[in-house]
Structure 1
């Protein structure tokens, strides 16, 4: 296994990338950082370059980037700007490559959700078309797109791992796989046993968090091996399907310096 931490939920600086944690992650023993691509793309070019330089100097890379599209860029609905979308991802994905990415996560729940009153089937066709474009384009960069299911309180499209796999298989996407976010899976009440039939061929990355921890709140760094009753079953399923990829903490914390080392040990205990 390789373990990392996402910057977007631990960011303390105005740029909202979490890049300020990268040296600490290296020191604590993490294998990589998972930076948010849309937040980096929101920065002026010189600040983007500074992040590339900082990653290169850190000793670890951003092997995965998440948040492919910003929430302001509508990907479904009556008013999408296909030219702007095309220009954006053709600038963003090469930047992800420079940061060390092997995978780029397409969750972007607010960008892909269709507006009230819009036809869902039409929205799915719009999303399918974009995924086919991305699948073709990213092949030339030597990376892969990861479909991230998001629970239905945040998005009205692609809410479960099964739906992510269905999207991939519907168009035989060759450079696309599916991510499982443990927090979103629990919120959506999807049975993790779905991985026993669909996970081995499709699961390529995991986001992990404690869904709720008294005293810390919702979607937080895990601090105890037995804090959530589903951990043991989830870990057992991953071992049964032979998963040996990356697991990123995508979680909040009240004390990064104290909790990050503890959480890394919990990950090793649960999944190694």
Structure 2
């Protein structure tokens, strides 16, 4: 089991490595927003520590529309090219697309049209990343964050309709918990699940943090059932808060103690 730390803080690379995480998961929109100087410094830090940036999350800013008013597939493809250029230089393997503000539909918006737009978005995005051997993942999000693609079944439908070989799903236990279905059977979705996220919050749903020690048994049971069902991929602790050594170590130990053997 490979365990990563998903953080938007590029200054925490050395700390993430020293704690013992297997890889870094960085922000896609943060990667694009970097100046060339900042980007080169990120590459140096990764090289110096030996920590690989294997995955990207926080894919795009609100102006890149996944579904809804202002949807522009050419704009989506152009943005994907920007991400892909730097992602492939970092040897990124997987890109997860959550980005709630890019798919929060206004009241009364045609849901059928939204689904068609989302399919086109992921078709274009997967097409751009395919030549680099990078997989793209649809991420179902909590209903407290957006009102479209909240259930795993919705994400699966889009993945099947698009039919791209490098398109799958990332399951996020934190988002599922927000929806009250974190203990659902994930076995039926294994054919499309390519990545996983897990975390708790720091008193606010928008402040994802490392896992709370008092929820150790809950988290370990969920992760254990997931892997026993047949999942064999990466899992990242995804946070918005600063990387604190004690919290980072506690979450890593929690996952390592789940009794997973692959």
Shorter-chain TM-score above 0.5: yes
Comparing 21-30 and 73-82, the one that deviates more: 73-82
Give 1:268's aligned residue: 256
What is the TM-score of this pair, normalised by structure 2?
A: 0.89
Give 1:120's aligned residue: 111
Given that 2:27 and 2:57 are in contact with CA atoms closer than 8 Å, whether structure 1 keeps it comes out as yes
Counterpart check, 1:246 vs 2:237: no
Equivalent residue runs for 1:97-246 within 5 Å: 97-190=88-181, 192-199=183-190, 201-210=191-200, 219-224=208-213, 227=215, 230-246=218-234
Shift of the alpha carbon at 1:146?
A: 0.9
Given that 1:28 and 1:260 are in contact with CA atoms closer than 8 Å, whether structure 2 keeps it comes out as yes
Shift of the alpha carbon at 1:50?
A: 2.1
1:129–1:184: structure 2 CA closer, same or farther, 3 Å change rule?
Answer: same
Shift of the alpha carbon at 1:158?
A: 0.9
Give 1:13's aligned residue: none
What is the TM-score of this pair, normalised by structure 1?
A: 0.86
| Counterparts of 1:105 and 1:115, CA distance in 2 | 24
| Counterparts of 2:151 and 2:201, CA distance in 1 | 16
Gaps of 5+ in 2: none
What is the aligned residue count? Answer: 259
Shift of the alpha carbon at 1:271?
A: 5.0
1:271–1:220: structure 2 CA closer, same or farther, 3 Å change rule?
Answer: farther
Equivalent residue runs for 1:11-30 within 5 Å: 18-30=9-21
1:30 is paired with a residue of what secondary structure? coil
Shift of the alpha carbon at 1:230?
A: 3.4
Q: Deviations over 1:218-263 (max 9, x none)?
A: 7431242x52663344133223222222111113557712211121
Shift of the alpha carbon at 1:67?
A: 1.6
What CA RMSD, in Å, does the superposition of the two structures yield over aligned residues?
2.3
Counterpart check, 1:37 vs 2:25: no
Gaps of 5+ in 1: 9-17
Give 2:46's aligned residue: 55
Given that 2:3 and 2:21 are in contact with CA atoms closer than 8 Å, whether structure 1 keeps it comes out as yes
Q: Deviations over 1:191-223 (max 9, x none)?
A: 533312222x1222111113578xxx9743124
| Counterparts of 1:87 and 1:79, CA distance in 2 | 15
